[in-house]
Copies of this chain bind each other. A is one copy, B any other.
Amino acid sequence: MQLGMIGLGRMGANMAQRLMQSGHEVVGLDAQPTVREVFAQQGGRSVDSAAKLVQQLPTPRVVWLMLPAGVITQTMIDELLPLLEPGDTLVDGGNSFYQDSMRRSREYAQHQLNYLDCGTSGGIWGLTEGYCLMIGGEQAPVERLTPIFQALAPSPDRGWAHVGPAGAGHFSKMVHNGIEYGMMQALAEGFSILSKKTELDLDVHQIADLWRNGSVVRSWLLDLTASALKDNPGLKGIAPYVRDSGEGRWAVAEAIALDVSAPVITLALLERLRSREPDSYGDKLLAAMRNSFGGHAFIPDTSQPFKPLD
């Protein structure tokens, strides 16, 4: 099939490449000339505007978005709306909020345009291992795009699925990422405990690698952990600063909206916030309160490493 891929960043370029490796034709669109050049070197054809992209695709068109969620995605969706024709299909493969996808799907439907929300997992490993695709939307476009999904997934009959109506794909991906946060945090805490037990002089990489075989916690995230610890078990040179994308926040908010208590997913998110707040106002206030009621000295705030006074 022919497909237009909008956004040739890490994810989009890899997905385009995997599609081309399966014999599909991809026209890429990216605003940055250098990105387009790299894409050309990988054998891809690219354009520099949505209008050109649409012109180059046969109808009914298939356009796949791989853009940062939010304003950038919305802007492109708005730009594409008048360019596309009834029967065309737009797939949002990014990490959009599922309620945005439900709304966009309705808007597109009013113009006889198909809209699919496709949660995409796999990261930079997807190029070689395939992507896990959670697809929401109408049945007909999902059927028409099946060869695309089969090429992107790890195998033609595994790793992609039509999980429900519009929004279901991004909803599933949102929950997936919530689970991912929880699992990552569980692993991070466990290896933190191991690393602090200095009297046993444990080799964290050896243990990570050991658990990959036969243990209850064997998992892809453990594989990555073992890999990260292999050459750098002390994690030297890495700041304890953990970003979050929107999806963990949405998962936490959605759980609360559904009256589901999800403490582990929630705490995994909060720990990331905490990692980025080294100069915590709350902790200062606790130190000040302890000083007020117990006369406990608090520690002067210096740029030196923390050192208790008493």
Contact = CB atoms under 8 A, between A and B. Distances in A.
Interface string A163-184: 1110110011001111111111
Contacts of A193: 175, 178, 251, 254-255, 258, 260, 262
Interface stretch (A69-77, A108-116, A138-146, A218-226): A218-226
A282 B203 CA distance: 16
B281 A192 contact: yes
A216 B258 contact: no
A242 B178 CA distance: 22
Given A10-B295, A253-B253, A292-B228, A216 B180 contact: yes
B285 A213 contact: no
Interface stretch (A37-45, A56-64, A153-161): A153-161
Contact of A261 (B181, B187, B213, B277): B277
A77 to B, nearest CB: 21
Interface in A181-199: 181-197
Interface string A278-301: 111111111111111111101111
Contacts of A126: 214
A20 interface: no
B187 A179 contact: yes
Contact of A276 (B130, B217, B264, B306): B306
A239 B308 CA distance: 10
Contacts of A283: 188, 240-242, 271, 275
B294 A278 contact: no
B186 A186 contact: yes
A122 interface: yes
For the side of the interface on A, what is the size category? 35 or more
A252 interface: yes
A291 B124 CA distance: 10
A308 B241 CA distance: 8
Interface in A113-156: 121-126, 129-134, 136, 153-155
A76 B58 CA distance: 55
Contacts of A239: 284, 287, 298-302, 306
B285 A192 contact: yes
A192 B235 CA distance: 30
A182 B189 contact: yes
A298 B186 contact: no
A182 B264 contact: yes
A183 B180 contact: no
B300 A206 contact: no
A203 B178 CA distance: 18
A31 interface: no
A238 B247 CA distance: 31
